[in-house]
Amino acid sequence: MEGIVDVLEKAGIVPVIVIEDEAQALPLAKALVNGGLPVLEVTFRTKAAAASIARIRDGLPGAVVGAGTLLTPAMVHAAKSAGAAFGVAPGFDPVVVSAARTEGLDMIPGVATASELSQALAAGVPMVKFFPAEAAGGVKMIKNLLGAFRFTGVKFMPTGGINLANVREYLSVPEVVACGGTWVVPKDALAAGDYAAIERLAADAAALVRELRGAV
């Protein structure tokens, strides 16, 4: 069975989505998967998050859906119970990482500094989220961190301020497994139910991944 790093590396770009109404979950996921992005991150910033993950899991077996913004053990438990395939956090909290390990949920904690990265690696996580990517120094900062940490085999999923204009630079770093991005699901398009527009954005993103990495 593939590990989460392999799954994310094949995807290349992971839409980070905020769902206010669980009825949006399945048509949104279908648009993203049809566009060529099969791995999704549903953030736990709304009350609809867990139900949305469950709907996608049950209604679209071809999607790999993770849970983002997991800040507490309770959120980790809710994400796992809803069927999330992996968890993501904006920062590194050893309590949350431990809870994910207990739940059997692959966890990708966030880091922005060398100290946080050291702690995450010591906790044995499969990879880290570099967040907020652009504000924390972007590709230059990732390369600086790699100067000290490359020997560890660390893998990154940068998120925050990434878009179609700069994602190529991030994905060109070998240790960047995937990039998280909100640009694939614009708030206005989701609010209007314009899933065709979202599918087109997903297709553009998937085409870039294929260009850089070959067939997904």
Catalytically annotated residues: 41, 129
Rounded alpha-carbon distances, angstroms, from residue 107 to 10, 15, 53, 142, 170: 18, 17, 16, 20, 21
SS3 157: strand
Cβ neighbours of residue 150 closer than 8 Å, sequence gap 6 or more: 175
What is the side-by-side order of every strand in the sheet holding 128-130?
A: 110-111, 128-130, 156-158
Rounded alpha-carbon distances, angstroms, from residue 63 to 17, 148, 172: 14, 35, 25
Does the N-terminal peptide bond of residue 132 adopt cis geometry, omega within 30 degrees of 0? yes
Question: How far apart are the C-alpha atoms of 203 and 174, rounded to whole Å?
Answer: 23
Residue type for position 30: K
Nearest to 189 by CA among 18, 50, 11: 18
Residue listed under structure tokens 């100067």: 147
The β-bridge partners of 181 are 15
